[in-house]
């Protein structure tokens, strides 16, 4: 146990991968740590993501090119991007901010910030995997981006060129070379690229739970309880749980993903956070061999081989936290997946829907609260929560200790909106 009683205790709201990574960093610095979550470790988006350490993905979602494709996608209610009609008015302010974030100047600054953050992501994970003994849950087989039209392949080359400008290895491959790597693919693929330095974990839920078990061994307390409201104090705040319990937190980190907006709002920070609902199915016996992570950008979904089966998932649905799931979206993804893997079987598959906490400029909030000392934010990672978790943990640790962080924190500040 590496806890220094003189450093005091930090309370963290959220036992997903981001909250757990923050706890891991703080316990190594000698803090006592309590993690509060309404269900416990890995109960939300951290259990059902695609398992990628996608540090090479540095393009913000908001971009002029996306809007060209989005208009086509939005016509299809089961396509890669959709807005539930019942949620259209609620998402409108977020969409207007998303549009503003799509101008070339803003895209360039967001990309630079993502390059900086993602550049620290894999090294931060390497340190955490090593110290926690979870390094054996990582795969390094690279990622294949696949395209089924010459036009989409040609458009991808500009993005690959930008990635190379940032020192990211991208190897363009022809259809035959791709099928040598993935023999079960159909002849629909016309080309693509291998990103060799990509990494993924065996199963995101298992990793999260393994880290939580390790943290318990380090003396970290995990408390199940839902925070109803916050009462700010001179330093930190008092947590009022729904069951009536009250907890005094001298230092407090809000890292509860899609549920962070309300807590930040109680502290006076109006963060434009909403949810991109993602769907997937995990098939224990898929009937095909997928050797590495497969990304199909033109269709908005991925195929991820896990220790627990093949996960087919992705797409973006704006529908908030309360509307019921539309499982037809999973059927639509499976139908597309079978175009690329015709022998794919989905019998016995487990369907899932989760809430990606998303901010219009694609940058998470990793920041002190603007009005209250001792309170910090770590949420809004959208598609990159697993990727950026360990790096976020290191940034939050530096902020709590008032040390210069490894990267410029300004792009991730809560007062940027």
- Integer CA distances (angstroms), 33 to 218, 223, 248, in order: 10, 11, 13
Q: How many helices (H) and strands (E) does the chain have?
A: 11, 21
Among 316, 338, 358, residue at a domain's last position: 358
> For helices 385-400 and 121-132, what crossing angle results, to 10°?
80
> Token pair 């008015």 is at which residue?
89
User: Do residue 91 and residue 216 come from a single domain?
Assistant: no
**271 and 265 in contact (C-beta within 8 Å)?**
yes
Q: H or E stretch including 228?
A: strand 227-232
Q: How far apart are CA 51 and CA 200, in angstroms?
A: 5
Residue 18 domain boundaries: 5-47+206-271+362-416
Q: How far apart are CA 312 and CA 294, in angstroms?
A: 9
User: Do residue 133 and residue 186 come from a single domain?
Assistant: yes
Question: Residue 298 is part of a domain; what is its CATH number?
Answer: 3.30.9.10
| Tokens linked to 209 | 């739970």
3-state secondary structure of 266: helix
The pLDDT value given to residue 3? 61
Mark residue 238 as left, alpha or beta (left: phi above 0; alpha: psi -120 to 50; beta: remaining): beta
User: Do residue 110 and residue 259 come from a single domain?
Assistant: no
Q: Kindly state the DSSP code that residue 416 receives in the 8-state scheme.
A: G
| Tokens linked to 372 | 């209250």
User: Do residue 167 and residue 289 come from a single domain?
Assistant: yes
The pLDDT value given to residue 68? 67
User: Do residue 225 and residue 300 come from a single domain?
Assistant: no
User: Do residue 317 and residue 351 come from a single domain?
Assistant: yes
User: Do residue 105 and residue 254 come from a single domain?
Assistant: no
User: Do residue 127 and residue 194 come from a single domain?
Assistant: yes
Question: Residue 221 is part of a domain; what is its CATH number?
Answer: 3.50.50.60
The residues, ordered by sequence, that sit 6+ positions from 89 with a Cβ below 8 Å of its Cβ are: none
User: Do residue 260 and residue 387 come from a single domain?
Assistant: yes
Among 339, 358, 377, residue at a domain's last position: 358
User: Do residue 263 and residue 408 come from a single domain?
Assistant: yes
**137 and 160 in contact (C-beta within 8 Å)?**
no
User: Do residue 308 and residue 232 come from a single domain?
Assistant: no
The pLDDT value given to residue 67? 67
User: Do residue 239 and residue 184 come from a single domain?
Assistant: no
The pLDDT value given to residue 378? 98
Torsion angles phi and psi, residue 391, rounded to 5: -65, -40
Among 358, 382, 403, residue at a domain's last position: 358
Q: How far apart are CA 349 and CA 311, in angstroms?
A: 9
> For helices 104-119 and 121-132, what crossing angle results, to 10°?
30
The pLDDT value given to residue 2? 58
The pLDDT value given to residue 71? 67
The pLDDT value given to residue 5? 64
Q: Kindly state the DSSP code that residue 324 receives in the 8-state scheme.
A: P
| Tokens linked to 302 | 């991925």
Q: What is the pLDDT along the chain (417 residues), one digit of tens a residue?
A: 556 667 999 999 999 999 999 999 999 999 999 999 999 999 999 999 999 999 999 999 888 777 667 667 777 778 888 999 999 999 999 999 999 999 999 999 999 999 999 999 999 999 999 999 999 999 999 999 999 999 999 999 999 999 999 999 999 999 999 999 999 999 999 999 999 999 999 999 999 999 999 999 999 999 999 999 999 999 999 999 999 999 999 999 999 999 999 999 999 999 999 999 999 999 999 999 999 999 999 899 999 999 999 999 998 899 999 999 999 999 999 999 999 999 999 999 999 999 999 999 999 999 999 999 999 999 999 999 999 999 999 999 999 999 999 999 999 999 999
User: How many CB atoms neighbour CB 272 within 10 A?
Assistant: 18
Torsion angles phi and psi, residue 175, rounded to 5: -60, -40
Q: How many domains does the chain have?
A: 2
Give the residue among 116, 192, 110, 118 at the shortest CA–CA distance from 150: 192
């Amino acid at each position: 146990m590496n806890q220094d009683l003189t450093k005091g205790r930090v309370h963290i709201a959220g036992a997903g991968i981001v909250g757990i990574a923050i706890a891991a960093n703080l316990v190594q610095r000698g803090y006592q740590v309590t993690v509060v979550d309404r269900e416990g470790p890995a109960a939300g988006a951290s259990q059902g993501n695609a398992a990628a350490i996608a540090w090479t993905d540095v393009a913000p979602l908001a971009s002029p090119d996306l809007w060209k494709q989005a208009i086509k996608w939005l016509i299809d209610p089961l396509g890669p991007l959709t807005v539930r009609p019942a949620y259209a008015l609620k998402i409108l302010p977020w969409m207007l901010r998303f549009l503003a974030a799509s101008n070339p100047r803003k895209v360039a600054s967001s990309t630079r910030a993502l390059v900086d953050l993602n550049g620290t992501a894999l090294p931060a994970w390497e340190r955490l995997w090593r110290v926690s003994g979870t390094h054996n849950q990582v795969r390094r087989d690279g990622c294949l981006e696949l395209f089924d039209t010459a036009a989409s392949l040609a458009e991808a080359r500009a993005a690959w060129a930008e990635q190379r400008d940032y020192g990211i290895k991208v190897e363009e491959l022809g259809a035959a070379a791709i099928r040598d790597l993935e023999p079960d693919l159909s002849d629909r693929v016309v080309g693509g690229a291998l990103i060799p330095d990509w990494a993924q974990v065996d199963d995101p839920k298992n990793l999260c739970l393994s880290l939580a078990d390790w943290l318990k061994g380090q003396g970290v307390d995990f408390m199940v309880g839902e925070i109803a409201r916050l009462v700010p104090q001179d330093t930190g705040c008092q947590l009022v749980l729904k069951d009536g319990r009250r907890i005094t937190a001298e230092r407090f980190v809000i890292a509860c993903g899609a549920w962070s907006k309300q807590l930040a709002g109680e502290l006076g920070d109006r963060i434009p956070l909403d949810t991109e609902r993602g769907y997937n199915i995990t098939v224990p016996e898929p009937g095909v061999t997928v050797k590495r992570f497969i990304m199909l950008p033109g269709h908005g979904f991925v195929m991820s081989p896990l220790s627990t089966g093949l996960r087919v998932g992705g797409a973006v649905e704006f529908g908030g936290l309360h509307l019921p799931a539309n499982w037809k979206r999973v059927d639509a993804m499976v139908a597309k997946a079978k175009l690329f893997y015709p022998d794919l079987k989905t019998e016995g598959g487990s369907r899932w829907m989760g809430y990606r906490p998303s901010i219009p400029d694609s940058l998470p909030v990793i920041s002190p609260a603007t009005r209250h000392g001792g309170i910090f934010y770590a949420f809004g990672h959208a598609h990159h929560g697993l990727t950026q978790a360990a790096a976020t943990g290191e940034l939050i640790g530096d902020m709590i200790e008032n040390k210069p962080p490894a990267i410029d924190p300004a792009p991730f500040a809560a007062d940027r909106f």
